[in-house]
Structure 1
Amino acid sequence: MQTIQRKFPLPLYNHHRLLRPSTTLLRPLTANLRNPPPPRFTMSISSSTVQENSEELLSQVLTYHNQTKHSFTNYARGPRGLDWANQPNPFRRYISPPLRPLLHPPNSDDSPLYDSLFNSLPPPKPITKSTISEFFYDSLALSAWKSTGFSTWSLRVNPSSGNLHPTEAYIISPPIESISDSGFVAHYAPKEHSLEIRTQIPSGFFTNFFPNGSFLIGFSSIFWREAWKYGERAFRYCNHDVGHAIGAVSMAAAGMGWDVKLLDGLGHDELKKLMGLEIYPEFKIPSRPVKGNLNSIEFEHPDCLLLVFPNGTGEFDINYKNLSMAISEFSKLDWKGEPNSLSKEHICWDIIYRTSETVKKPLTLDTKFIMNRFARSGNCNENSHVNITLRELVRKRRSAVDMDGVTSIERNTFYQILLHCLPSGFQDKQKRQLGLPFRAMDWDSEVHCVLFVHRVVGLPKGLYFLVRNDEHFDDLKKATRSDFKWEKPEGCPSELPLYELGRADSSDGCFSLGMVAHLEPTLRNKGVWMYPRLFWETGVLGQVLYLEAHAVGVSATGIGCFFDNPVHDVLGLTGSNYQSLYHFTVGGPVVDKRIMSLPAYPGPGVDA
C-alpha cells in the first residue's frame, strides 16, 4: 500500500488550535511605518487610471498573491499587534436616511427543509415586506451575541474571517408596500435588521430590464476592516467573505423559491453608481504602507451585483449596454446619508489597494446572461442530514475554534457532503455551475479540493482529491506527484469524482481540505478581474461546507491562514497554474463553556 511521506505537517495551517494566527507571529512593520513620514501619494482609485497591458496586469496580481503567502519561516506582512483602540466598528450606518425596520420571522414555521432545496426549489413567494424580512434574516442578519467577562460581540448568519465583516449589502428594488412607495436603493443594517433608504429610483428601471418579481442585491467591501488585523493578506479574506455572502444569499433566496444570478456583465463603475458609493471621497494610494488618520480608507469597494428572481421564470436576456446607460443616471439621484466613521487611526497596506485597482472589472457588453436549468444534487445517504429546516440551520451555524480529536463520521455521510459540493449537481461530468448555490456564478468551476481524511469510518486515512471540473483532470494528474494513485475509493458513488492519492494521517477533525484554484490560466484566458472571483467561488464552497457540517451534526471552520507553498509541495505543484486559496476543517467542535450565548434580537446596545 502506497504511503505519502510526511515531509510537511498536515494540515498545513497556523491557527493555534484552529484560531486565526497570532499577530505576534506576523512580521512587524518597518521602523518607518511605526513613525511614518508624510505619505507620498502616487496613484488614485478612479476610472481614469491608465490601463497597462494584460501581461503587466497579470504580473501585478501574481506579485500580490506571492507576496501575501505564509511560509514556515516568513509571514505575509501584518501589524505587530492588535490596536484595540482603533478596532473598526463592525457596523456601517448611514446617518440621517429613513430607516425601515424589517420583521422578525418565526424560527422555522414557514421554512423548507434544508435537504429538500438540493432537489428542487419551492414555488416562488411574492416580494413583500414579510418575504424580504425573511430573506435578510436568513442570509445577512445577526444570529447571536456572545459574551464573556467584559467582552460582548455579535455573530452573523454569513461568516467572516476574524468576525470582522468587511462585506456590506444593498438592495435595489421595485416598490415594496410598507417599505417604500417607489423603487429604491437601501443599505441593509444587520444590527437593527432594518433598511436605510438611500435614494428613490426611476419607476421604469425594473420593468425595462428585469422579470416581474425581481430585485437586486449588491455587495461591497471595506478593506480596512480586515486589514486592521490581517495586514496585506486581507484582500484575500475580503473576497472569501464576498463568496460566503453570495452563498448565504443564494440559500436564503432558494428557501423563498427565488433563483440568484450574478450580473457579471456590469463593471466596477456601474456597481459604484448603482449602490451610491460615489459618495465616498477618492482614496489615494501611497507608495508604501503608512499609518495615520486616513479617513478615506474606510470607503466601500463595489464587488458584485446579484439578480434575485422567481424560480421558474422563463428565459430572458439582459441588455448590458442599455442597463449601463440607465445606471449612469443614478449619479444624478438624491442620495441620502453620510457614512459613519469606523476608526480614528488607520494603517494603509498599499498593495491591497493597488491590487484592487488592477483587478477592477470593466463593463463587458458581450457578456451573455445564461439561464441555466436547475440541477439537483446527488444523494447517497438519505439519513445523513438531520431533519432540519433551512432557517434553523443557517441561524445556528458557528465557526469551530477547536476540534475534539474524537468525533468521526460515516463514509456515506462524507460522500453525501461532497456530493453537495459539486458545481454541476447530479451529472456524469462536472464543469458548469448548475447546482445550488453554485448556480449563482456564471463561469465554469475553477476550484478543486484536496482532502486530508482523518476520521471517516470506512475510509483509510490519507490524501484525496475532489475534481470539480472534469476538463482539468488530465492536467491535474500531470501537475501533481507522479506516484499518486488517482483511484476511486471504496463505496464512492459513480457520480462523485473523488480519488484517493495516498495514505497519511493528521489533525483532530474528521477531515480537512484545501481549495486549489486553476489560477494563472484562468487569469490569462478570462482576465485578471477573475482573481477575486476565484476567492468568491471558494467562499461559496465554504458556505456549503459550513451548512453540511452542521446538518450532519458536526461543525466546521474556514481557515484563510495556511502555509501556501508547503501545501503545493505536498501535492507536487510548481508554478502558478494551481494555487491553494482557502482551507476548511470539519469535525466535532470543542465548546468553550466560558462563553455565554445571547439572542440576536434584541441585542446589547454596543457596536463592538
Structure 2
Amino acid sequence: MSNGDGSAVRSYHDRTKHSPASVRASRHALDWANQPLAFKIYETLEPIALPRELPPIDVPALEAIARIESSTANECVPDLPTLTQLLYYSAGITRRITHPGGEIYYRAAACTGALYHIDLYLVCGDLPALAAGVYHFGPQDRALRRLRPGDHRRTLIEATGDEAATAAAPVILVCASTYWRNAWKYQARAYRHCFWDAGTLLANLLAVAAARTVPARVVAGFVDRAVERLLDLDPGREAAIALVPLGHTRDRPGPAPDAPPLGLRTVPLSAHEVDYPAICAAHLASSLETPEQVRAWHGQTPRPVAPAPTGPLTPLTPLLGATAPRDAIDRVILRRGSTREFGRVPIGLAAFATTLERATRGVPADFLDPPGASLNDLYLIVNAVDGLRAGAYVFHRERAALELLQEGDFRRDAGYLGLGQDIPADASADVFLLADLAPVLARYGDRGYRAAALEAGIIGGKLYLAAYAHRLGASGLTFFDDDVTSFFSPHAREKSVLFLVALGMSARRAQVVPSA
C-alpha cells in the first residue's frame, strides 16, 4: 500500500486527537523502569571523533532563521568543522546536569517530552578529512560511526526522483525516528511527533546552514524503503522522515555500491517495546514506492485564496538591521530551553512582530513551491503584548498584520486549549499552527500530512529561536485538537491544529526585569 488519497492519515489524525474525554479515559501510565534510551548506540562500530573546539558563528540568529536559500552559484563542499557545527547545533548535547539519580542531557533542539527520538545520518562522497560513506551521528559522544563505505549518494538521488538539490549535494543528511523512544510516553500520537521534532531540529539545521552559507533544502518526497534500506533501518520500528542535501557541486556521483542488509547490533532501548500499529499504518499509507511517484509528488503548493480580513488589522513593524538583537545563532542555540513557567508580564510589540516575521519568511522545501509558500496558518491568543489588545488573532503574513478575531481576556481559554496547563495561560502569547488539510491531501495524498506537520514543526522551531534571540522564552505544547479549531472558528473552520508554541518572559526573568 502506498501514498493514498488522504483518508488513511485523516483516520490516524482523528484517532489520535486529544479531548477532555480521551484524556480522562486514558489508562496509560509511564513505566519508568522501561523508559527507553535517548540514543541509538551501535555496539560494534568504532567512533570517529568530531572536532570539540568549534569556530564561532558570527551571524545574528534573527538573520540566520530568516534566510530561505543560499546561493548555488559557486561550489560549496562543507569541511569537517562545518559539518560538525551543523550536526552539533541541530542534534547535539548542549548541557549536562548531574544529579543523584544520574545525568540530564539538554539538546540543541526542542523535542516532545525530552525523549529525543530523531537521529541524523550522513551520506557523502569523499570530503576533506572524511571518506565517502554512510554515517550515523552519535550525540552522546559527538562522533560519527560508519555504517557503509563508499559513495551512496546515487541511491538517494534516485530515491528523490533526481531532485535537483539532492543531485548536486556533496553531503546529504537524513532525519530518522525510532518510534518507541517517543511512543513510550505518547503512544500512537508519537507519529505526529516524528514531524514536530524533526521540524524543530531542522529549524536549527537550516539556520546554521544559512549562517555558514551552505545551501540546504528539506526534501520530504522520496522512496521510503530505498532510504530505509540504505540506512539499515527496521521498518517496523524506525522511519526516515526527511532528507537535507547540503552544499553544491557540479560533480555528480557514479553508480552506488551494493548495499546489502547489515544487521548491525544496537544497545536495546529498554527491556521491552510496545508496538502501536497505527504508527506503522499511517507511515505505510503515506509512503512512496517509485521514483515516478516521487516526481509526480513534487510540484506547486496548493494555496487556497485566504478570505479578506473583516476584523481590525494591526500592522506589524519588525526590527530591522542594527535595531534588532544581534546575538549569534550558535549562542542562541546554546542557551535555548523550553520555558516551564512564564511570568504574567507584557512583552514588547516590536520583539513580538520580529519573532513572527522572521519565523514565517519561508522554508526551503520540495513541497513548498514557489519559495515562500506555506501550508500552515498562524492563529494566536494574545494575553500581554504592549500595543495589542488582548484577544484572538489570525496572522496575515502577506500583509504583515494581525487581524483581531475577537477581543477579550482569554488566558483561561489558552490554558484549557493547551491541555489544561498553566504555561499557555501565563504566556504573553500563544501561537497555534493550523492547516486546511483538504487541499493539502488532495494535492499530495496521505504524504501531505507529513509535509504539513513537518513545516509546522520547522516554523515552531524558528519561533523558539527568534524568541530566545530576544531573550524571551518559548515552550512547545500539545492541545485539545477540536477545541482549538472551534475556538478560532468560524475563521478556522475545517482546519486542523498541528503545533502550538507559547511565547513570553520566563517567570525567573520577569522577577528582575521591570515590565514596560
Deviation of the 1:442 alpha carbon? 3.0
SS class of match (2:485)? helix
Match of 2:137 among 176, 188, 201: 188
User: What does residue 296 of structure 1 align with?
Assistant: none
Alignment of 1:6-21 (within 5 A): none
Q: Given the alignment of the two structures, is residue 415 of structure 1 paired with residue 353 of structure 2, yes or no? A: yes
Tell me the amino acid that sits aligned with residue 446 of structure 1: L
User: What does residue 176 of structure 2 align with?
Assistant: 220
SS class of match (1:94)? coil
Tell me the amino acid that sits aligned with residue 451 of structure 1: L
User: What does residue 442 of structure 1 align with?
Assistant: 367
User: What does residue 145 of structure 1 align with?
Assistant: 96
Greater helix fraction, Structure 1 or Structure 2: 2
SS class of match (1:218)? strand
User: What does residue 112 of structure 2 align with?
Assistant: 161
User: What does residue 34 of structure 2 align with?
Assistant: 86
SS class of match (1:192)? coil
Do the aligned partners of 2:125 and 2:151 also contact (CA within 8 Å) in 1? Answer: no
Residue by residue, what CA displacement relative to the aligned partner does 1:379-432 show, whole Å, maximum 9, x if unpaired? 5444664321111011211011111112x222122111111122xx3xxxxxxx
Match of 1:274 among 230, 248, 265: 230
In 2, Cα distance between equivalents of 1:453 and 1:224: 36
Deviation of the 1:211 alpha carbon? 6.5
User: What does residue 547 of structure 1 align with?
Assistant: 465
User: What does residue 387 of structure 1 align with?
Assistant: 326
User: What does residue 56 of structure 2 align with?
Assistant: 109
Between structure 1 and structure 2, the one with the greater Rg is 1
Alpha-carbon distance change, 206 to 526 in structure 1, aligned in 2, over 3 angstroms: closer
Do the aligned partners of 2:485 and 2:493 also contact (CA within 8 Å) in 1? Answer: no
Tell me the amino acid that sits aligned with residue 504 of structure 1: G
SS class of match (1:451)? strand
User: What does residue 569 of structure 1 align with?
Assistant: 486
Match of 1:526 among 444, 447, 461: 444
Q: Given the alignment of the two structures, is residue 130 of structure 1 paired with residue 81 of structure 2, yes or no? A: yes
Do the aligned partners of 2:2 and 2:284 also contact (CA within 8 Å) in 1? Answer: no
User: What does residue 33 of structure 1 align with?
Assistant: none
SS class of match (1:420)? helix
User: What does residue 66 of structure 1 align with?
Assistant: 14
User: What does residue 416 of structure 2 align with?
Assistant: none
Identity %: 21
User: What does residue 240 of structure 2 align with?
Assistant: 302
Residue by residue, what CA displacement relative to the aligned partner does 1:135-159 show, whole Å, maximum 9, x if unpaired? 2122211111234442421011121
In 2, Cα distance between equivalents of 1:84 and 1:452: 35
Alpha-carbon distance change, 160 to 207 in structure 1, aligned in 2, over 3 angstroms: closer
Alpha-carbon distance change, 76 to 253 in structure 1, aligned in 2, over 3 angstroms: farther
Do the aligned partners of 1:265 and 1:364 also contact (CA within 8 Å) in 2? Answer: no
Using the size of structure 2 for normalisation, the TM-score is 0.81
Do the aligned partners of 1:96 and 1:336 also contact (CA within 8 Å) in 2? Answer: no
Alpha-carbon distance change, 134 to 204 in structure 1, aligned in 2, over 3 angstroms: closer
Residue by residue, what CA displacement relative to the aligned partner does 1:276-298 show, whole Å, maximum 9, x if unpaired? 32xx3x64xxxxxxxxxxxxxxx
Deviation of the 1:584 alpha carbon? 0.8
User: What does residue 217 of structure 2 align with?
Assistant: 261
Q: Given the alignment of the two structures, is residue 515 of structure 1 paired with residue 463 of structure 2, yes or no? A: no
In 2, Cα distance between equivalents of 1:212 and 1:221: 26
In 2, Cα distance between equivalents of 1:574 and 1:340: 49
Alpha-carbon distance change, 240 to 78 in structure 1, aligned in 2, over 3 angstroms: farther
Residue by residue, what CA displacement relative to the aligned partner does 1:468-518 show, whole Å, maximum 9, x if unpaired? 5x6xxxxxxxxxxxxxxxxxxxxxxxx414322121221211111111112
Alignment of 1:195-594 (within 5 A): 195-202=144-151, 205=154, 214-277=170-233, 280=234, 283=236, 299-310=237-248, 330-332=258-260, 335=262, 337-365=264-292, 366-367=295-296, 379-382=318-321, 385-406=324-345, 408-422=346-360, 425=361, 435=362, 438-443=363-368, 444-468=373-397, 495-505=399-409, 506=411, 507-559=425-477, 561-572=478-489, 577-591=494-508
Alpha-carbon distance change, 348 to 245 in structure 1, aligned in 2, over 3 angstroms: same
In 2, Cα distance between equivalents of 1:440 and 1:105: 31
Tell me the amino acid that sits aligned with residue 189 of structure 1: G
Using the size of structure 1 for normalisation, the TM-score is 0.69
In 1, Cα distance between equivalents of 2:181 and 2:353: 37
Deviation of the 1:265 alpha carbon? 4.2
Residue by residue, what CA displacement relative to the aligned partner does 1:88-136 show, whole Å, maximum 9, x if unpaired? 0001011212311000234x63432223333685998642222212221
Structure 2 unaligned residues grouped into runs of 5+: 301-316, 412-424, 510-516
In 2, Cα distance between equivalents of 1:245 and 1:266: 20
Q: How many equivalent pairs are there?
A: 464
Deviation of the 1:465 alpha carbon? 0.4
Deviation of the 1:163 alpha carbon? 0.5
Task: Report the RMSD for the aligned CA atoms in angstroms.
Answer: 3.3
Do the aligned partners of 1:187 and 1:197 also contact (CA within 8 Å) in 2? Answer: yes
Residue by residue, what CA displacement relative to the aligned partner does 1:435-465 show, whole Å, maximum 9, x if unpaired? 4xx1135324110111111111111111110
Deviation of the 1:586 alpha carbon? 0.4
Do the aligned partners of 1:384 and 1:413 also contact (CA within 8 Å) in 2? Answer: no
Do the aligned partners of 2:319 and 2:354 also contact (CA within 8 Å) in 1? Answer: yes
Do the aligned partners of 2:392 and 2:488 also contact (CA within 8 Å) in 1? Answer: no
In 2, Cα distance between equivalents of 1:510 and 1:98: 48
Alpha-carbon distance change, 588 to 575 in structure 1, aligned in 2, over 3 angstroms: closer
Structure 1 unaligned residues grouped into runs of 5+: 1-49, 284-298, 372-377, 426-434, 471-494, 593-608
Do the aligned partners of 1:91 and 1:191 also contact (CA within 8 Å) in 2? Answer: yes
Do the aligned partners of 1:516 and 1:581 also contact (CA within 8 Å) in 2? Answer: yes
In 2, Cα distance between equivalents of 1:96 and 1:154: 24
Do the aligned partners of 1:67 and 1:76 also contact (CA within 8 Å) in 2? Answer: no
In 1, Cα distance between equivalents of 2:100 and 2:476: 26
SS class of match (2:247)? strand
Residue by residue, what CA displacement relative to the aligned partner does 1:227-246 show, whole Å, maximum 9, x if unpaired? 10111211111221111122
In 1, Cα distance between equivalents of 2:214 and 2:288: 27
Do the aligned partners of 2:89 and 2:108 also contact (CA within 8 Å) in 1? Answer: yes
Residue by residue, what CA displacement relative to the aligned partner does 1:52-100 show, whole Å, maximum 9, x if unpaired? 9x45xx3332222111111122229766321111100001011212311
Alpha-carbon distance change, 467 to 215 in structure 1, aligned in 2, over 3 angstroms: same
Alpha-carbon distance change, 202 to 416 in structure 1, aligned in 2, over 3 angstroms: closer
Q: Which moved more, 1:202-211 or 1:395-404?
A: 202-211
In 1, Cα distance between equivalents of 2:503 and 2:439: 30
Deviation of the 1:275 alpha carbon? 2.1
